[in-house]
Structure 1
């Protein structure tokens, strides 16, 4: 039985403003033209999905395709297509899974690690340019707040994904 939706809690004006700003920055970062500029600066001709996969592997190390799909929140078939493209371009290769020799993990090659490095460096340079008028203190505050926000988002997502069994049973003892 699906969990019923939580009752809506009125949002503060500040949270509404943050959500709008977050939506704007997400849109700006995911525009096709912006991605093409980033890839041109990095010298890496990959689509956004392939870049997401490379970044995930750079952060986590070799993974099974199913694990990659789970971490990226996409269907396994999407990862399979991207892995095939990245195998052809030499950015990844397959290695035996040490936990199960019948399975394989996908890992970055030297070319893949270099591509991720160039993509990240190009992104950092673009961000450096955009934030050039900010003081070191302001940048530090922004970084700290972003990390805190991400941690809170992860905590909230984990709470949403928790099984129903973890919720208190209503009426089981007559006290809940």
Structure 2
């Protein structure tokens, strides 16, 4: 095991954890840069702003219409932000509002076929880019990376849920 390295005042963590955090920060920064987004949507032929992509992906991944508040919670953003995104995506023809089957006063946001196509085009460009960037990696190395990253995300989610469960109420 690596010797502890100070990550902050009074916080000793192993050096490998510090390196994982640094690598994840670099990846997150690289993947969320404006220039990268602009190149991706241009190559995909999808004129959608950077903030809308996670909402479209979430709707595509769930496959079900979602309430705006639920979208905001899952995306960890404020509800007014989601409302503005939904309005822009509606105008572009990517999503539509539909009545909530359980509460006629409420509405859900549903991905339209155009939105599903947009998400798939964006994903295809990203996958091609990733395939090119990891071109010198063997299939086994890529498979191991995918397995470890998925395991890490699952563990992060489980840890967050556990912390949320034990957090003091308001």
Q: If the length of structure 1 is used for normalisation, what is the TM-score?
A: 0.87
Residue from 60, 77, 80 that aligns with 2:80: 77
> For the pair shown, which has the larger CA radius of gyration, 1 or 2?
1
Unaligned runs of 5+ in 2: 1-9
- Distance change (3 Å), C-alpha of 1:111 and 1:164: closer
Paired position in structure 2 for 1:142:
145
Unaligned runs of 5+ in 1: 1-7, 167-176
Paired position in structure 1 for 2:34:
32
What is the rounded CA distance, in whole Å, between the counterparts of 1:85 and 1:143 in structure 2? 34
What is the rounded CA distance, in whole Å, between the counterparts of 1:137 and 1:9 in structure 2? 36
What is the rounded CA distance, in whole Å, between the counterparts of 1:66 and 1:164 in structure 2? 21
Cα drift, residue 10 of structure 1: 1.9
Q: Within the alignment, does 1:92 sit opposite 2:95 as a pair?
A: yes
What is the rounded CA distance, in whole Å, between the counterparts of 1:90 and 1:164 in structure 2? 40
- Distance change (3 Å), C-alpha of 1:91 and 1:164: closer
Q: If the length of structure 2 is used for normalisation, what is the TM-score?
A: 0.90
What is the rounded CA distance, in whole Å, between the counterparts of 1:131 and 1:108 in structure 2? 31
What count of residue pairs does the alignment treat as equivalent? 160
Q: Note the 1:46-85 alignment, pairs <5 A.
A: 46-60=48-62, 61-85=64-88
- Distance change (3 Å), C-alpha of 1:29 and 1:165: closer
Residue from 16, 20, 32 that aligns with 1:14: 16
Cα drift, residue 14 of structure 1: 0.6
Say what the alpha-carbon RMSD is for the aligned residues. Answer: 1.6
Q: Within the alignment, does 1:123 sit opposite 2:103 as a pair?
A: no
Cα drift, residue 163 of structure 1: 4.0
